[in-house]
Structure 1
Amino acid sequence: MASTEIEFEDIIEKFKLFSPYHLKLVVLLAFVSFIDAWHRANYIMVVEDVNYWCKYECNESQFLKVIRNETNLDRCLKYSITDNCAFDDLKERSIETCHDWTYEKPDSFMGEFKLGCQDWKRTLVGTVHSMGLLIGLLIIGPLSDKYGRKAIFILCGIMGGIVGLGKSITAWYWIYVALEFVQVLIGTPFSAAFTLGIEMVPKRNRLRFLGLVSSFFGVGDITLALLAWSVPYWRNLLRVLYAPSFIFLIYIFAMDESIRWLLIKGRKEEAINIIQKAAKVNKIHISNEDLHRMKSEKTSKNTGLLDLLKITMKSRKLLLRTLMCVLMWMTSSFSVYTLLINSVNLAGNKYLNYGAVACASSMAVLSGGFLMENLKRRVPLITGMGMTGLIFIIQSLVPKEYSLLAAVLFFIGKYFSALAFLFIYLYTSELFPTYTRNTMHAFCSSVGRIGSILAPQTPLLTQYWSGIPSMLVGSLSLITAIAIFLVPDTSEDPLPDTVEEAEAIGHKKNNISTSRVTIISSCC
C-alpha cells in the first residue's frame, strides 16, 4: 500500500514560535524590517523643506529684515535694488525674478542643490523613489519565486546599501534622483524576506510572527527621526543609515532558505536537511518516514512573470482577489506615505511628530495580532480602513486654531491606517498559492505603489487647502473598506499550494482541510 503524503504544514506544526530556531529567524527578519524602514523613508528627512529668500547684493541686516518679514512679496521675486539699501520706497521699485537665493540651512539638500523656487524638484525625489519601488517589486517577486527567497533578499540588502552610500557623495541633483530610483529598484529586501518568514511558520503562529517582525518597522522609523535630529547634515545621515546594510553578508551563513519554496521546486532533500537541523536545535523528534512522505512538487524552471500571472488569473476568483488586493495596496500605500510625509508639517517639532506617528504604527502592529486572532481577517481589515476614513475626513475639517485636536486626530488615524497596512500584508500572502505567492504579493503591492508615487506631491496641494491630504486619505479608505466585502476571510485556512486550494479559501469545508493528514501535535 502506497504511503499517504504529508503536507509541510503538518510537519511545521511541531515547531513553536519561540523555540530557538524560530526565535533566531524572528531576530534576523526583524533586522530586515528595521533597515528597510530606514531605506524606504529617509528621503522624508533628507529632502526637507527649508526657508529661503531671494539673495540681494546688499547684506545690511535691517534691510533684509524688512524684505523678509515686513513685505508680502513672493519669495521667488525680488525688488530691484541699485543704491545703498534704501528701503523707504520699496513699493515704488520694480520687481524682478530671483535667480539666486539665501537658504536658512545652506548645507541642506535644498541649499546644496540650489532648489529655491523649485519645490517640484524636492517632492520629485519621493515620487521617483516610489516609482523605483513599484518596478523593483515586479522584478524582485518573480526572481525570488525562481531563484529563492534567501538569495534575492540578501542581494537586495547589500546592493541597496552600496547605492545608498553613492547618494551621499554625489554632487549633482539628477544623479541623486537616478540613484534614488536604482536604490529601491534593486535594494528592497523586505518583500522576499517577509515571504520567506511567512512560509517558515505554521498557521497558528503566523500572526504573532508577523507582529513581531513588523513591529521593527516602527522602531526603524522612530530611530530614523532620532538619527535625523542627531545628525543634521544629510550626507552624513545617509552614510549612517546605509552602512549597516553590509551586515546582510552574515545572512549567507545564518539564514536558511524557505522550506516551502524548496518543496514546491522539488528540492526535497534540501528541505529535509533544514527541517532536521531545526528539529535538532529545538530538541524535538521528527521521524525520517514522515519527512520522506512530505509532499513535494516540481514546477517549470522557466516560468516567467507573465506565465505566472496567466496561470493565476485564469481563475475568476483569483482575478477578483488580485484586483481587490491592488486597490487595498494602493489606498494603504497612499495613506501610509501621505501621513508620514505630512507629519513633519504638523505644528511643533517635526522630529518628535514623525516619531509620534511611528509610535502609533508600532502600537498598531503590537495590537494587530490580537485583533486578527480574535476577529479573523476581514473584520479588523474593514474596521481599520473604515476608521481611517472617518477620522481623517473629520481631521481635515478641524479649524487651524485647534492644532492640538488636529494633531491628536492625526495620530489616532495613523494608528488605524497602520493596522490596515499590517492586515493587508498578511492577507495578501494568504490569498494565493505557494508557487505564485511572492509574485502575486509583489504584483499587488507594486501596482498599489501608485498610491505612494502620488503621496509625495500632496504637500504641494496644501497651498490651496491644508485639509486636502487628510480628505484624500479619508475618502479612499472608506471606499476601500466597502470593497473588501468582495473577498473571502482566510483565517480558517492553511496556506494554499495550488490554484484549486486557493479557490477553496473561505469555505468552511474545503478540500484543503479534508485532505490534510494530521500527525502528532500534542507537543505544540
Structure 2
Amino acid sequence: MSESRKNSVGQAPPDRKPSMANSRKASTFEKPVDLDDILVNELGQFGWFQMRNIILVAIPIIMSAFMSEYIFSAAAIPHRCQIPECGENSNRVEFEPEWVLNAIPETSSGFSSCERFAPRLGSPNGTLDYCPATIFDQNTRVGCEGYVYARDNSVVYDFDLGCEEWLRALAGTLSSVGTLLVLPITGYVSDRYGRRMALVISVFNLALIGLIRAFSVNYVMYLVLQILQTTLGAGTFSSAYIFATELVGPKYRVVTSATASSMFAVGLVILGSVAWVIQPWRYMIMALHIPCFLIISYYWILSESVRWLLSKRKYQEARKVLENVARVNKTSISDKSMEALLIPPTLPDTHEKKRSLIKVIFSSRILLRRVCTTPIWWITTTFVYYGLSINSTSLSDTMYLNFILTCAVEIPGFFTAVLVLDRIGRKPTLSVGYFLSAACNIAFAFIPNDLEVLRLIVFLLGKFGISVVFTSLYLFTSELYPTEYRHTLLAFSSMIGRIGSITAPLTPVLMEYWDGIPSVMFGGMGLLSGLLVLTQPETLGTRMPDTLAEAEALGTPESKKPKS
C-alpha cells in the first residue's frame, strides 16, 4: 500500500546548497538509508505518534463504510398487486387483509408479489373490509398494474419499483463500479497533491454527494449520485489506510492492516445500527453523511505522509514531521540518520532494457499459472464477502440485527488470520478459510427456514471464513510475485477481483427462482478457490522473491535460504 521513495532522490533541500562534507557523508553509506531502518532503530516502530495517527484515521475508515448504505436505502421490501376492485386506490393500505388470497395467488412464501387473479367482468366490486373470491377469475392470472408495500423505508416504495428487482439491485452494482473507477483518480491526487489532500477530498465528496442523494426526486437521480459518490469518494479507505500503515515499523504492519480492516467492519456495524434507529431512508442517509464534513479539519490536524514528502523532495517538511515523531514518541533521530535519509546517495543509472511484462508472463509457465489463478481468488473473495453482507438482510425479519452480526463477525476473522498466518502457513489459512465458507454456504442453502438460529450460526461461520481469507489474500498474492512485477500483478488481481463485488449485489434477485441459489454459488466459488490455493507453493519462511527465477523457485529448499 505504501509508496516507496524514489532511488533517484539525491539533491539537497531547496533552501540550502549541498556541501562537499554532506556529499562525502552520504557517500559513506553503502546503500540508501530506508525509513523502515530508522523506525526500527531510532524513532520506534509503534509509539504514541503512530497510535495517535491510527486513532485519527480510524474515523474516516469507519465513515468509508457508510457508502454501503444502499443495502438499506435500496432494500427489497415485500409487495403485492394493488386490487382496485376491492377499494385499493393507493399503496398506503393494509398489506395483508383477510381477503388477500381471494385476489392474489398463494405461494410457498405467502402470496404472489407480481401476479393477481383477473377480475370477472360485470361482477360488483368489493370493499377494503370485504372482497369475496367470486369477483375474481382464479383460473386467470395477470400482472400488477399498481403495488401495495409492506414498508415505506426504501426507494422501492418512494419510486414504485415493485417487481423490478434487477433495476433495484443496480444501485449496489453501480456502487461497486464506482470503487473501480476511483482507483486512478485517488492514485493521481494522492501522488500529485499528497495523502492528506486525497483523504480530505475523498471524505468531502463522500459527505456532499451522499447528502445530496438524500434529496433524490427519482430513481435515475439516485443511481447517478450513487456511482458519482463512490467514484469520487471511495478513495477514503485507501487514503486513510496509507496513513495508518506508512509510519509503523515492519513488525506491526500486519496488525495495523487488520486493525484498519476491523475499523471498516465497525463502520458497517454503525451503519446497520443507524439504519435500525432511523428507518426513513432519506433521514438515515443524512444522519450518516453530515458528520463526515468534520474530517475536513484533518487537513490541519494530520501530518503529511513522510514517505510522500521524501518522494517529492520536500525535505524540510519531512524533517519537521520526523522531529515531531521523535518528540511525541520520546525518542530521537541522529543527525547522521537524518542527513542520510534526506540526502541519499545517487545510484548509478542503469540502461538495461526490460522485457515486456506480457512476454515475461507467457515465457514462464509458473508465472502464467499464477496470473491465471490469483484473480480467481480475488473474484471469489469479493463475491462471497459482499454477497453475504448484502444477503444477510433477507435472513429473517430482523434484517438490521442480521446485518450487524454478519459484519461484527468479520473482526475476529481478521485477527484470526493475523494469529495463524505465521504459525500454520499461508496455504492452510487460505484453503481452510475458503473451504469453511464454502461448506457453510452450501449447508445454509438446504437448512429449513424454520430453523432460524441454526441458519444464522451457519451463515455467520461462512462470513467468518471469508473474512480470514480477505486478510490473508493480500499478503499471499504479493509473496508469489517477484519485486519487479509485484505491484502491477497484485493490482491486476485486485482489479479483476472487482468483478465479484460488482456482481454480488445482483445475487438477491436470483432468490426469486430458488432461495438457495446465491448460497450455492458462494459455496461453489469457495470450493474452486480453495482447491486452486493448493496448486501454489507455501511462502511461509521463504524470502520475498526479487527476481523471476526466485519466484519460480518458491517452494524449493533454495527459496528458504537467507540471502547472502
TM-score by length of 2: 0.79
> Which residue of the other structure, out of 74, 78, 95, is the alignment partner of 1:51?
78
Distance 1:488 1:260 in 2: 33
Give the structure 1 partner of residue 56 of structure 2.
28
Which residue number in structure 1 is paired with residue 298 of structure 2?
Answer: 251
**Would you say 1:84 and 2:125 are equivalent positions?**
yes
- 1:398-426 C-alpha deviation (Å, 9 max, x unpaired): 34444432221111111111111122245
- State yes or no: 1:336 paired with 2:385: yes
Distance of aligned partners of 1:375 and 1:292 in 2 relative to their CA distance in 1, 3 Å threshold? farther
Residue number among 352, 367, 376 corresponding to 2:416 in the alignment: 367
Question: 1:246 offset after TM fit, Å?
Answer: 1.5
Partner Cα distance (1:330, 1:309) in 2: 29
Aligned counterpart in structure 2 of residue 155 of structure 1, from 201, 214, 227: 201
Residue in 2 that maps onto 1:4: 30
Higher RCO (CA 8 Å, separation ≥ 6 residues): 1
Contiguous gaps of at least 5 residues in structure 1: 300-307, 516-524
Q: Does 1:176 align with 2:210?
A: no
* 8 Å Cα contact 1:136-1:184 kept in structure 2: yes
Shift of 1:257: 3.4
In 1, Cα distance between equivalents of 2:360 and 2:191: 19
Per-residue CA distance 1:31-84 (angstroms, 9 max, x = gap): 222111122x21111111112222233438899725524541643334337633
Q: 1:459 to 1:158 in 2, by over 3 A?
A: same
Do the aligned partners of residues 417 and 277 (structure 1) sit closer, same or farther apart at CA in structure 2, a change above 3 Å counting? same
Aligned to 1:448: 497
Q: Per-residue CA shift, 1:230-251, capped at 9, x if unaligned?
A: 0010001011111122222122
**Aligned residue for 2:307?**
260
User: Per the alignment, do residues 135 and 370 of structure 1 end up closer, same or farther by CA in structure 2, a change over 3 Å counting?
Assistant: same
SS at match of 2:394: coil
The 3-state SS of whatever aligns with 1:393 is helix
Give the structure-1-normalised TM-score. Answer: 0.84
The 3-state SS of whatever aligns with 1:50 is coil
Confirm or deny that 1:242 pairs with 2:305.
no
Paired residue for 1:68?
100
Distance 2:415 2:337 in 1: 36
Q: Partner letter of residue 206 of structure 2?
A: G
Deviation by residue 1:432-469 (Cα, 9 ceiling, x = unmatched): 79999877655433331111111111112122222221
The answer on whether the counterparts of 1:461 and 1:468 sit within 8 Å (CA) in structure 2 is: yes
Cα pair distance change 1:425/1:164, threshold 3 Å: farther
Q: Distance in 1 between matches of 2:211 and 2:244?
A: 28
> What is the Cα-based RMSD across aligned positions, in Å?
3.7
| Conserved 8 A contact 1:137-1:445 | no
Counterpart of 1:406, as a letter, is R
Q: Structure 2: give runs of 5+ residues left out of the alignment.
A: 1-26, 107-111, 348-353
- Asked if structure 2 preserves the Cα contact closer than 8 Å seen for 1:265 and 1:297, the reply is no
Displacement of 1:429 in angstroms is 6.2
User: Counterpart amino acid of 1:222?
Assistant: V
1:111–1:348 distance in 2 versus 1, CA, 3 Å: closer
> Per the alignment, do residues 365 and 180 of structure 1 end up closer, same or farther by CA in structure 2, a change over 3 Å counting?
same
C-alpha spacing 1:455/1:196, structure 2 compared with 1 (3 Å):
same
Paired position in structure 2 for 1:38: 66
Contact map agreement 2:417 2:468 (CA 8 A) in 1: yes
Residue 520 of structure 1: aligned partner: none
The percentage of counterpart residues that share the same residue type is: 28
Is structure 2 residue 260 aligned with structure 1 residue 221?
no
Secondary structure of the residue aligned to 1:293 is helix
Task: Check conservation: 1:134, 1:447, Cα contact below 8 A.
Answer: no
How much does 1:144 deviate?
A: 3.2
SS of residue in 1 equivalent to 2:384: helix
| Alpha-carbon distance, 1:180 to partner | 0.6
CA drift at 1:164: 0.9
Check the 8 A contact 1:326/1:445 in 2, yes or no.
Answer: yes
Structure-2 separation of matches of 1:156 and 1:287: 37
CA spacing shift, 1:465–1:195, aligned 2, 3 Å: same
Deviation at 1:119, TM superposition (A): 1.5
Contact 2:484/2:547, CA 8 A, preserved across alignment: no
Where 2:80 maps in the other structure, the secondary structure is strand
Q: Secondary structure at the match of 1:65?
A: coil
Q: Does 1:131 align with 2:177?
A: yes
The verdict on how the C-alpha distance between 1:101 and 1:417 changes in structure 2, with shifts beyond 3 A counting, is same
1:118-161 C-alpha deviation (Å, 9 max, x unpaired): 11121111111111112222443455345543322321121111
* Residue 211 of structure 1: how far off its partner (Å): 2.2
Q: 1:377 to 1:255 in 2, by over 3 A?
A: farther
1:316-465 alignment runs, 5 A limit: 323-427=372-476, 443-465=492-514
Q: Summarize deviations over 1:310-331 as a string: whole Å, max 9, x none.
A: 6699566777655544322211
How many Å separate the matches in 2 of 1:62 and 1:160?
A: 38
**Partner SS, residue 102 of structure 1:** strand
Alpha-carbon separation, structure 1, partners of 2:222 and 2:233: 15
Instruction: Give the total of aligned pairs.
Output: 505
Matched, 1:203 2:229: no
State how far apart, in whole Å, the 1-side matches of 2:73 and 2:345 are: 47
